[in-house]
């Protein structure tokens, strides 16, 4: 798997197979980027939004 970004106004980031990535980069419209950038901008976006929605549960003290 490779991470690529489209080189235009949208800057669309995709994770694709090695062969597909090589084909897209050859066209000149795409470039390779690091997986960390994909994680920060695509994968973890939903997780950050969902974390703020969760309510924390308070644990009560056990009676002895």
pLDDT tens sequence across 13-29 = 999 999 999 999 999 99
Residue 23 domain-assigned (yes or no): yes
Q: Report the length, in residues, of the chain.
A: 64
Q: Which residue has the tokens 């920060």?
A: 40
What pLDDT shows up at residue 25?
A: 94
Nearest to 8 by CA among 23, 24, 17, 59: 24
Residue 12 domain-assigned (yes or no): yes
Q: Give the model's confidence band at 31: pLDDT under 50 very low, under 70 low, under 90 confident, else very high.
A: very high
Residue 57 domain-assigned (yes or no): no
Q: Which domain holds residue 35?
A: 2-45
Residue 51 domain-assigned (yes or no): no
Q: What is the mean pLDDT of the chain?
A: 82
Q: How many C-alpha atoms does 15 have within 13 Å on its Cβ side?
A: 10
**Statement: residue 44 has pLDDT above 60:** yes
Residue 19 domain-assigned (yes or no): yes
Structurally, how many domains does the chain consist of? 1
For residues 26-51, average pLDDT: 82
Residue 38 domain-assigned (yes or no): yes
Q: Greater confidence, 63 or 12?
A: 12
Report d(CA 62, CA 3) in Å as an integer: 50
């Amino acid at each position: 798997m490779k991470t690529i970004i489209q080189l235009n106004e949208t800057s669309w980031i995709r994770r694709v197979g090695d062969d597909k990535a090589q084909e897209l980069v050859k066209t000149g419209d795409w470039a390779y980027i690091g997986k960390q950038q994909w994680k920060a901008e695509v994968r973890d976006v939903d997780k950050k939004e969902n974390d703020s929605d969760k309510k924390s549960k308070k644990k009560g003290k056990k009676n002895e």
